[in-house]
Amino acid sequence: MTTHLTVGQRALLQAELALRQQRLSQQLELHQEGRTRIEHARDVLAQDYDDAPQRAMDREVDMALSEIDTQELVAVGRALERVHADDYGLCMDCGGEIPFDRLKVEPQALRCVVCEAKREKPR
């Protein structure tokens, strides 16, 4: 196990991840009102408005927001699975340590700040 994160730090990050997972699940459940993403999207599109193009745009925005939440939920779940693994807290690109302060902000982070900046930099 890497030594740059203490047992206490890992426990704190695990608790934060579990809390985020719970909040995201609740947010998705509330947003979709217990329906699947497909059912919810169909219902948004079928709502009785006068402006069909606006409904289509609302549906696209709604689906995009649901997708963002779903992707974060998956990332948080994966981080929970590896929080006690040897590679948790190590950058997947350079292998360097991801600082605890970064992990406190984004405990599901896979890369250090330098590698993430390179990845996000437009080409």
| CATH code for the domain in which residue 116 is found | 1.20.120.910
In a domain, 108, yes or no: yes
In a domain, 98, yes or no: yes
Which amino acid, residue 109?
A
In a domain, 51, yes or no: no
Q: How many CB atoms lie within 10 A of CB 40?
A: 19
In a domain, 46, yes or no: no
The pTM for the full model equals: 0.74
In a domain, 29, yes or no: yes
**Whole-number pLDDT of residue 79:** 96
111 CB burial (10 A radius; 0-12, 13-18, 19+): buried
List the domain range (segments joined by +) for residue 114.
7-36+70-120
In a domain, 89, yes or no: yes
**Whole-number pLDDT of residue 1:** 45
Domain count, the chain: 1
In a domain, 54, yes or no: no
In a domain, 55, yes or no: no
Q: Tell me: the pLDDT tens digits for 24-82?
A: 998 888 776 766 656 666 666 666 556 666 666 766 777 777 788 899 999 999 999 99
